Chains A and B, each alone.
Chain A
Amino acid sequence: MKILRFAAVGVAAALALTACSSDSDTPSESASAKPTAGETSAAPEAATIKLWLNGTDTPQALRDYLTTTFATQNPGSKLVIEQQDWNGLVPRLQTALSSADQTPDVVEIGNTQSATFTYAGAFSDLTSLYPELGGDKLLPGFVEAGTADDKIMAVPYYSGARAVFYNKDMFEKAGVDIPTTLADFTTVAQKLTTDKVSGFWFPGQDWYNGATWIYTAGGDLAVKDGDQWKGALSSAESMKGLEQVQTLFKTANHAPADSDSNEPWVPFNQGKAAMFSAPTWARWSIDLPACNEGVDPDDKSDEATAKRTKQQACNEKHTGVFAMPGNAAGEYATAFAGGSNLAIPAKSQHQELAQNLLKIIFSADFQNMLGKNGLIPGNTEYATSMGDDVYAKAAIAAALGAKLTPAAENWATVEGDRTLEDFFQKVASGADLKTAAAATDQQISDTLNK
């Protein structure tokens, strides 16, 4: 599940960015929205509610904001935030969500995991609350992933942003510029490649990045045909993207076929890669030997802090970022969007308080706070809060037309079986594309229609 988070990619912010110029309505505390479940009384009974957040993406300041704001707006009630790990989240949800005593009242869930739980009836219907939380301005792909049988059961929390990091010195030495199209990207990567250096670090199992080429070429992982799902890797469009992927694997990459998308900065730091694609927070993991000041991470002295600042500046001076380009100059690639959704478990005994918490999360204040912390907020209207430094620009640019995995009930099983990891590994190992794609399509169809 960790991989999910690592795969956080840009999202369809721009789509809404254009539409957001209209009224910027601040979510009111209007208790008018009728609770879809639970108590019908005007003021909910005071209680302590539990929010599960995963990993450390939500910074402490934002957590504090939520607990204090919730306590102020709901006198007598209290919010407790319990941090969960991405790894092992699914078994935890499988058990805890079925227990009225133990269930959290609001949960964060990976967007590709949503479908499984929404179809299983684990969450409460949020359709009537949806307009108040942001309506159409909420990341559409994420809303779709949280919708089952036309009921909205999970709403977007945030989306991670992804960008291509590159070594400026290597670019200069090879005499290449930032690529302007996806085809150009391959050429540039090839030019950067030497015996020791990968032009583009492309791990064999990294299907989250690989999906970019499939999506940009107009292909898909699976499509719905009537009421049946069908694996779509062998469609003409997907194959076009996959051919580019295989070319990159073959001619511009030394990453092992058995490696995954975790920690691509390690070879970058070692000088073995000229480019890699990762969530924008990877900037904090770039540690070029030439810049390393050798400070102890525990050393809190002024001198050490100064050295660390100098080190970071040096690293960023030698490293650049850009958003993956699209089919034509000026366009951006359609990347896979990673991130998470929020939902209210059906078993929660405090439905109304939980809804109150959601309203706080979707308030302008909180959405802007998410943006300031480098996450694309669930309500795209506030994406501008991400700022305008080069990282934010790349992130927002990458968000153009980003796309999610198929919103099929059993999609999580495809991921659980690691079908796509196996497939991309075969592509990286030089397997015949047609055969491999056909076999994998069959597996995907079997799983999705089970």
Chain B
Amino acid sequence: MSTISAPTTVGPAPTNVGPARVRAAKTSEAGRSQSRMSRRLLSALAVVVALAWVFPIYWMVNSAFQPLNKLQAENPAWLPIGGTISNIRRVVNDGTFWQAMRTSLAVVVLVLVAALIFAFLAALAVSRFRFRGRKSFILAILVVQMIPAEGLFISQYQVLDGWGLVNKVAGLALVYTAAILPFTIWMLRGFVAGVPIELEEAGMVDGLSRVGAFFRITFPLLAPGLVAAGVFGFLQAWNEYTLALVVMTDPAQRTLPLWLQSLVESNRATDWGVVMAGSAVIAIPVIAFFLLVQGRMTSGLVSGAVKG
């Protein structure tokens, strides 16, 4: 079960391979050189697109190395040559930055652990069992994503306040978890469906307990799905601003987006170089996490997305 067997039923079966209007076959020689040519052209195109796409990010990093007067000069400074590291230094020497970093990390870890476990259990239910209300549940978690969140924060605040969870990492994590659960369940359920139950049974025949079989056989196969879902959770929890704004009013409990906003907000002139340095530094953990799990994520998206 380590290689793919033809996924015959993914989508309508490709029965109709076109009205085999056979074209005059090119000589294989010419075909190959032409395809090498076009591959090279396409590669060049891919690199151009990549550069265009990354340009705003480049600009952020470049700006992080510019002193304010160069940043606000009439002619843009295209390269960080002759730049300054004082912006970056001010960020990493800022105690409140590290405080916010700790808070954000704590929130993200809590959210990921809770969301992945709960979503996984729910995904198990909807993809391994047929039961009354199954489709309604799936529909409900889809519809819930359609409602704009801009007006919900007051009620969410009241829930947290009632439980003494305002200004608490746990409170923020609770709402974030609920917010990403629908999407996470949605992703994971297709994935769970993809692991044939027979595998687990085979393991039990070989003498594993049910739990043992699950953890030794099924769970590892789900890793990519969990990773893909985890990436979404990470992004959401790391970047969320509106709810954190009202829940974390104590400056000691700020998350990173709040910290970043406070740099812009200090009502004296904003030092944009420092803001950009802060932005770049905040992005590092996300990107590191991405790069770390990217390979698995893509494969996770395969089953997650396909099964929808």
Contact = CB atoms under 8 A, between A and B. Distances in A.
Rank and list the top 3 A-B pairs by shortest CB-CB distance, nearest first: A85-B265, A285-B269, A55-B267
B261 A95 contact: no
B183 interface: no
Contact of B249 (A5, A84, A272, A292): A84
Given A92-B245, A92-B249, A94-B154, A55 B74 contact: no
A82 B245 contact: no
A284 B269 contact: yes
A65 interface: no
Interface in B236-261: 242, 245-246, 249-251, 258, 261
A88 B261 contact: yes
10 contacts: A56-B267, A84-B251, A92-B249, A94-B154, A102-B166, A266-B72, A270-B74, A285-B269, A287-B69, A297-B67
B38 interface: no
A399 to B, nearest CB: 19
Interface of A: 2, 5-6, 55-57, 82-88, 91-92, 94-96, 98-99, 101-102, 263, 265-266, 269-270, 272, 281-282, 284-285, 287, 289, 292, 296-298
Given A95-B246, A270-B73, A296-B84, A87 B265 contact: yes
B54 to A, nearest CB: 27
A95 B153 CA distance: 9
A282 B270 CA distance: 11
Nearest to A2: B265
B262 interface: yes
Nearest to A265: B269
Given A296-B84, A297-B86, A95 B265 contact: no
B290 interface: no
A82 B164 contact: no
A183 B264 CA distance: 36
Given A87-B264, A99-B166, A102-B167, A298 B249 contact: no
Contacts of A55: 265-267
Interface string B273-303: 0000000000000000000000000000000
Nearest to B154: A95
Contact of B267 (A57, A269, A289): A57
Contacts of A92: 245-246, 249
Interface string B65-102: 00111001110000000001010011000000000000
A85 B84 contact: no
Given A5-B267, A55-B266, A102-B249, A87 B261 contact: yes
Contact of A91 (B166, B245, B264, B267): B245
A281 B268 contact: yes
A91 B246 contact: yes
A198 B245 CA distance: 39
B214 interface: no
